[in-house]
Structure 1
Amino acid sequence: METETLKLIKQALPAYKSHQIDVTLDLLNDNNTVPFIARYRKEMTGNLDEVEIREIQDEANRISKLQQRKQEVLKQISEQGKLTAKLSAAINAATQMQQVEDLYLPYKQKRRTKATIAKEAGLFPLAQWVLQFNHEPVETVADKYINEKVPDRKSVLAGVHEILAEAIGERAEFRDWIRRYTQRNGVLTSQLKRNGQEQDADQVYQIYYDFQSALKKLSPYQTLAMNRGEKAGVLTVKITVDEPAIEQYLKFQLIGRRKGPAVAIVGAAYQDAYKRFIGPAIERELRRSLTETAQDHAIQVFGNNLYHLLMQAPLKNHVVMGFDPAYRTGCKLAIMDGNGKFLAKQVIYPHKPASAAKRKQAMPEFIDLLNHYQVDMIAIGNGTASRESEQFVAEAIKQTKRDVRYTIVNEAGASVYSASAVARTEFPDFNVEERSAVSIGRRLQDPLAELVKIDPKSVGVGQYQHDVPESSLDEQLDRVVETAVNQVGVDLNRASVELLARISGLTKQTAINIVAYREENGSFTSRPELKKVPRLGPKAYEQSVGFLRIVNGKNVLDNTDIHPESYPVAKRILASLNLNLNQVGTPAVASALENVAVKDLSHRLDVGSATLQDILKSLQRPGRDRRDDMPAPILRTDVLQISDLKPGMKLQGTVRNVVDFGIFVDIGVKQDGLVHISHLSKAYVSSPAAVASVGDIVTVWVLEVDEQRHRIQLTMVAPND
């Protein structure tokens, strides 16, 4: 029989079938990881992906917290002796935390209020009498309640007012209606604060000096921008709503068509209740809700951008030079072989304020390095002196007789990595800048392997990431990294501790143990050898092994994402086609598997079609890296200046960041150009993320160039369209 919690989860997730929720929660409760469930339990879940599994997981956590809070509230009210059957039913029926808190509000322990003092003075019966709308003069009845604590009629009526105002302010049904009305009809306004312009010398918040928007039309980035301006002392932000309409609702609910002397008293009470209690509380709630929604959206934007950044195509089998530009301290160079192994480092001084002699010496030194190590790709960091360094590299390429290309690499987070314990362990004898050069070069060779060493918040692909709760951001980004690493898989014999620690079922300690075992015993030759690693038990092995690859091992299936539990199925598939393991990876096998009738084979082998299709893909391309299908970075041999740009010019660029109002594109000049959301397509675009992702190669046309402000406006709509 379903528990109440499970019923609520299913009610909240109508898009999922009942058995999908049941199975997913059972698998999660059995300590299966999200990547493992998404990849290897497709038949059980109905082919749910990581996002869908996490949605079920998150909703289950939300409902569990809701149910826990309900029990706490019921217990608190019961201990006061005020829990009725009707109130208990209302609390148990609540589906949102706010509903529970509204119902609990009248019973919540609070500091002594004016209403509390009035009740202590014996005025509660009089307040109840007023709500009966008797025709007897209120003043006459009020005089009967005069005592030492309320020595005159004025004090009595003031006390009754406080009791009524507080009671009205705590009515759950009133708060619910007013909240929903304000959500539908409220307007968020921002105004420049007195002396606010002094706090905004660069006019960052100029657009919000006199701004208003309906709450239901407000964009998440606008919410966060106004919050930031308010915090900086630049803006005054508030919610406005049609208060007379709200007061009319309260009048209808509390007074209706009644007449008599009590009408004025109740009217004054509900007006005061709204102004002092309900209105400010609803404004705080809605501002908080808007902020939380905007923060969640910003976190999703960051996560989506991070995923696409991590999934950029690796540049395999190229000797790469990482070039960390600088002026005074010189440019740091680091050379890595085709596998990312460090070969050499050097510092050159091609820019002022270095002496003329050092600048003259830089070019031949640089060209000698290119030729000696047969460097064919140069990754230039986009920090200080990047553009001058690009000009230097382009000139050097012209003087070499070999095919050498370069690209600008976003070095965000490189300095964070360089000063980290991970970098110190990896390169203990290097200084910080030299480690940065290695990181920049390796980012081009394998973005995923290098970026997992860095705090995800530091990679520079977010929007307002400094305005969101750090714990929530960390949780989301950890999920994104986990998804990316497990979708790609890692080479068991080359992966770093940081990369292995992100694999399903592994921890930082088991990752350290794997590397230690590898260093002591040599390369792994088969997946089952993992079982010999200390503290890597059966569950960790089951969860992780499918995501760990062994290149040139004893079993070709170990270099695929086929789980060992499915090896017998893979062999039966091959046998059904008169093929064997030794032929896996050959054109003959790929051709034979392409033409397999999946439905028929699934029935004959009694294997789920989703699992079967995954196995067939893996057998066709052992060692497959799904990132190989992603767009490769744009490589250049010459420099483009901002002064070269002219309206209408057609260019290719790489998407560096996707935000709510558009995308930023690297077109080969120092500043990224902005394609505003209105210029992404001829058709209406609701979200830039629906059109482009970080790492995409896009064709753009120059709209406008402001050299003085270093701003470039681009469009993805061809001029003739």
Structure 2
Amino acid sequence: MDIAALLSNEFKLRLEHVKNIITLIDDGNTIPFIARYRKEMTGSCDDQVLRELADRLAYLRSLEKRKGEVKESIAAQEKLTDELARAIDGAATLSEVEDLYRPYRPKRRTRATIAREKGLGPLAALLLAQDIKKGSLEELAAPFVSAEKGVAVWEEALAGAGDIIAEDVSDDAEGRKRLRELMLREGRLVSKAEKNEKSVYEMYYDYAEPVARIPSHRVLAVNRGEKEEFLKVSIELNDDSAIKILSGAFVRNGSVTTGVVQNAVQDAWKRLIAPSIEREVRNALTERASEQAIHMFGLNLKPLLLQPPVKDKVILGLDPAYRTGCKIAVVDRTGKVLDTTVVYPTPPQKKTEEAKKELKRLIDKHGVDVISIGNGTASKESEIFVAELISELLRPVSYMVVSEAGASVYSASKLGAEEFPDFDVTQRSAVSIARRLLDPLAELVKIDPKSIGVGQYQHDMPPARLDAALGGVVEDCVNSVGVDLNTASMYLLTYIAGLNTAVARNIVAYRDENGHFTSRTALKKVPKLGPKAYEQCAGFLRIPGGKNILDNTSVHPESYEAAEKLLKMFSLTMADREGVEALPQRVRELGEEKAAAAAGVGVPTLRDIVRELTRPGRDIRDELPPPMLRTDIMDLNDLKPGMELTGTVRNVIDFGVFVDIGVHQDGLVHISEVADRYIRHPSEVVKVGDIVKVTVLGVDTAKKRISLSMKKRAEPGARP
């Protein structure tokens, strides 16, 4: 298999670029580094394509390795023919390889192996050949009757031979492939109630849907219902269709033995093939659904991590609770904790006035600009309290309800204890809630991505695959934003390309011992940070206010000389801001190809350098819509059908979008109400963090469900 050519065809990339990508990966380069600093070699592939290609490369290499193992095993049995070797080499999937290996794989003791031990193999071959036109089955089987071998009568010999034929039919690779395709095409996934009691799975108590059309979220739902023993799940397929395929391959009419072969084919399907293929198809459905869920989680996680920070604000974090009170933490513009306390504005204490007095004191003392409220238990009551408090303040203060998913996990973690050893768990949670507004990325990277709460069925996913995929998303986000080398936590640094936990810890220790880094080159003095690690990480680490302004950009040190040549080409310096801001226009006038050649770089790198020179220290998150801050609150009972509101997208899933409209309970926009046109998935239209306009369709106050629409509504009196 020419893996590079195959990947080139699958990903629609030039063969030269694919070969370069493979070489870069094999040389130990990270995906963020390849995506950002090797664009000329890759055709400017983005990080997502590179990760998908890397995953596919790993699969194809695993496939090639397995092919070699299978051929070696069959050859050791002296059964490897040229035809079989070609079939194995031509297999496109691991399933096809295993189908070809099936007849030669060491088997446990089966009815067929017992029959072969009794010497019935030749009889099975005679029957399967179907060449005998005259005589009887008794005459054919009689020579194989042997009391010594445990075959008492001719019927027993015939039955044993039938078992051998059935296993041979079951082991046929082409037949299994066609039957697998048939079940995927015509099978029906059926679920029935296993328990006669109410549950969230009631809609699946008598349910069926074609395998070819069942959406991923329903596959995962019935899987969970089956795991929790509420459902009995199976795949149904018309037996006649399956048997017809096998009969076409193995049954030839007109022979005395045809009936035996036909019976063996039916036995092979019902006893051996159907249960096996059903397991394979269920596994395939689950794998596909899991990949979709993981992909969806990644799509949601990325915009959540890249939410614009609320910069240069003093933030008061409020972790709501009832009996134990609301924990408060005030953080400054850098995230440093200024104050902590506990107030009791919620039941049962409901010391509202006392709580207001304490928070007013903190707000005045520290100049609080924004209040960040966790959305957990007692969040509604806390939000009402904060809205009332804000209305009584003389200084402008706004608030925002943030997801506190994973905050408790972080608070009780080793990392939380290391960061705030003198705080209890609840105080750490309040700090986390405040910092999630100040800098979502820096705070959320401390939490296991599975606990962030923007996916579906994430706890049912294969842990290793989920961790790898989500870890990649976090890594891409951190590196695309970059981090301040002099303020970044050890944990945030571990997501920078080329850095592991030990090196990140050494960077922080070096910083503590020697003071702030004044240049990127000083990184080379950090213990265990070798040349390769420096190459991978340097461009993603920023030094605001350093000796070289380029150290506060994403220009890699390897391109500093090119940047300086470019500036000199137009008689500019970084201090000449007006001239540098006109650089893109001047490069276009000269011609990008000519400018790139003069600077000694490719055109993609030239464009990156120009963009960074014009905006040193830029944060890509500043280009996104700012988070939606509020000063008042609505109640669920205030909502009426037809009301138009503005909200923030909190989660995007296969069947719709959850939107925060400021009433504590997120509303659901069903996929059919997301757009005025047909869409396959809500992610085609929105992402987490988007600010959207919605219309209330209906409110079920008893079940606390809000139905919303994002479709444009006709103006009253307008013609349709």
Aligned length: 708
Q: TM-score, normalised by structure 1?
A: 0.96
CA contact 2:138–2:155 (8 Å) conserved in 1: no
Q: How does 1:202-351 map to 2 (within 5 A)?
A: 203-256=199-252, 258-351=253-346
Equivalence for 1:581: 574
**Stretch moving more, 179-188 or 28-37:** 179-188
Determine whether 1:65 maps to 2:62: yes
Counterparts of 1:358-373 in structure 2, within 5 Å, are 358-373=351-366
The amino acid of 2:241's aligned partner reads: A
Query: What is aligned with 2:184?
Result: 183
What's 1:406 paired with?
A: 399
Report the AA paired with residue 641 of structure 2.
Answer: P
CA distance in 2, matches of 1:287, 1:718: 40
The Cα of 1:318 is off from its aligned counterpart by 0.4
Aligned to 2:616: 622
Q: Which residue of 1 aligns with 2:167?
A: 166
AA aligned to 2:704 is H
Alignment of 1:483-522 (within 5 A): 483-522=476-515
- Counterpart CA distance in 1 for 2:679 and 2:3 is 38
Shift of 1:596: 2.5
Q: How many angstroms apart in 2 are the aligned matches of 1:81 and 1:508?
A: 50
Please list the CA deviations of residues 116-148 of structure 1 after superposition, one character each: whole Å capped at 9, or x if unmatched: 111111111111111222023221111111101
For residues 353-400 of structure 1, what are the alpha-carbon distances to aligned partners after superposition, in whole Å with 9 as ceiling and x for unaligned? Answer: 12x6x4431111111111111101110000111111111111111111
1:172 aligned partner, one-letter code: A
* 2:718 match: none
State whether structure 2 residue 114 is matched by structure 1 residue 127. no
Q: For residues 563 and 624 of structure 1, what CA distance do their matches in structure 2 show?
A: 15
For the 8 Å contact 1:8–1:63, the answer to whether it is kept is: no
* Cα distance between partner residues in 1 of 2:423 and 2:290: 39
> Which AA in structure 1 matches 2:212?
K
**Matched position secondary structure for 1:303:** helix
Using the alignment, how far apart are the partners of 1:543 and 1:348 within structure 2? 47
1:687 is matched with: 681
Letter in 2 for 1:315: V
Cα deviation for residue 604 of structure 1 reads 3.9
Paired with 1:541 and 1:122, the residues of 2 have a C-alpha distance of: 69
For residues 507-546 of structure 1, give each alpha carbon's deviation from its aligned partner in whole angstroms, at most 9, with x where no partner exists. Answer: 1111111111111111111111111111111111111000
Alpha-carbon distance in 2 for matches of 1:112, 1:47: 55
The one of 575, 587, 590 aligned to 2:581: 590
1:451-470 correspondence to structure 2 within 5 Å: 451-470=444-463
CA distance in 1, matches of 2:532, 2:574: 27
- Residue 27 (structure 2) aligns with: 30
CA contact (8 A) 1:648 1:719 kept: no
Displacement of 1:236: 1.9
Amino acid in the other structure paired with 1:153: W
Distance 2:189 2:336 in 1: 55
Is the counterpart of residue 91 in structure 1 residue 88 in structure 2?
yes
How far residue 603 of structure 1 moved from its aligned partner, in angstroms, is 4.1
1:674 matched to 2:668? The reply is yes
Deviation of the 1:719 alpha carbon: 2.6
In 2, Cα distance between the equivalents of 1:606 and 1:140?
88
Q: 1:710 aligns with which of 700, 704, 713?
A: 704
Contact in 1 for aligned 2:573/2:580 (Cα 8 Å)? no
- Equivalent positions of 1:100-179 (< 5 A) are 100-133=97-130, 134-135=132-133, 136-148=135-147, 149-179=150-180
Structure 1 contact 661–677 (Cα < 8 Å) conserved: yes
CA contact (8 A) 1:9 1:60 kept: no
Q: Secondary structure at the match of 1:131?
A: helix
CA distance in structure 2 between the partners assigned to 1:364 and 1:347 by the alignment? 12
Deviation string, structure 1 residues 687-713 (Cα, Å, up to 9, x no partner)? 111111111111111110000100000
For 2:640 and 2:578, the matched residues in 1 are separated by 49
Q: 1:252 aligns to what SS in structure 2?
A: helix
Of 544, 552, 555, the match for 1:551: 544
Q: Which amino acid aligns with 2:94?
A: M
2:647, 2:255 → 1: CA distance? 75
Secondary structure at the aligned position of 2:265 is classed as: helix
CA contact (8 A) 1:190 1:236 kept: yes
TM-score (structure 2 length as normaliser): 0.96
CA shift, 1:185, in A, is 1.5
What letter is aligned with 2:165? Answer: L
Q: CA deviation at 1:13?
A: 2.6
Counterpart in the other structure of 1:612: 606
Corresponding residue SS for 2:212: helix
**1:453-475: CA deviations, max 9, x gaps?**
11111111110101111111111
For residues 90 and 285 of structure 1, do their structure 2 counterparts lie closer, same or farther at Cα, with a shift above 3 Å needed?
Answer: same
**2:600 and 2:538 mapped to 1: Cα distance?**
24
1:549-582, CA deviations, whole angstroms, 9 ceiling, x for partnerless residues?
0000101110000001111111111112221122
The SS at the match of 1:362 is helix
Alignment-mate amino acid for residue 176 of structure 1: K
Aligned mates of 2:316, 2:598 — CA distance in 1: 53
CA drift of 1:233 comes to: 1.7
Q: Is the 8 A contact 1:492 1:549 kept in 2?
A: yes
How far did residue 232 of structure 1 move? 1.7
Aligned mates of 1:659, 1:400 — CA distance in 2: 39
Task: Decide whether the 8 Å contact of 1:700 with 1:716 is kept in 2.
Answer: yes
- Is 1:197 aligned to 2:196, yes or no? yes
Provide the residue aligned with 2:42 in structure 1: 45
Match of 1:389 among 372, 382, 387: 382
Unaligned 5+ residue runs, structure 2?
Answer: 716-720
Whole-Å Cα distance in 1 between the matches of residues 543 and 245 of structure 2?
A: 70
Tell me by how many angstroms 1:9 deviates. Answer: 4.3
**Which 5+ residue runs of structure 1 have no aligned equivalent?**
none
SS of 1:384 mapped into structure 2? coil
Relative to structure 1, is the Cα distance of residues 684 and 359 closer, same or farther in structure 2, using a 3 angstrom cutoff? same
Q: Secondary structure at the match of 1:83?
A: coil
Distance in 2 between the 1:142 and 1:14 partners?
58
Deviation at 1:12, TM superposition (A): 6.4
Larger CA deviation: 182-191 vs 36-45: 182-191
Q: CA deviation at 1:588?
A: 3.7
Cα distance in 1 for partners of 2:404, 2:541 equals 28
Structure-2 change in CA distance of 1:168 and 1:20 (3 Å) = same
CA RMSD, 1 decimal: 1.4
- CA drift of 1:213 comes to 1.6
Please give the alpha-carbon distance, in whole angstroms, between the structure 2 residues aligned to 1:594 and 1:314. 31
Please state how far the C-alpha of 1:448 moved relative to its aligned partner.
0.3
In the TM superposition, residue 11 of structure 1 has moved relative to its aligned partner by 6.8
Cα separation, 2, equivalents of 1:266 and 1:11: 46
- Residue 533 of structure 1 corresponds to 526
User: Counterpart of 1:24 in 2: which secondary structure?
Assistant: helix
Distance 2:190 2:463 in 1: 27
Partner AA of 1:223 in structure 2: V
Whichever residue aligns with residue 112 of structure 1, its letter is: R
Letter aligned with residue 513 of structure 1: N
Offset of 1:647 from its aligned partner?
0.5
8 A Cα contact 1:130 1:138, kept in partner: no
- In the alignment, is the contact (CA less than 8 A) between 1:397 and 1:405 conserved in 2? yes
Q: Answer with 363-372 or 37-46: which moved more.
A: 363-372
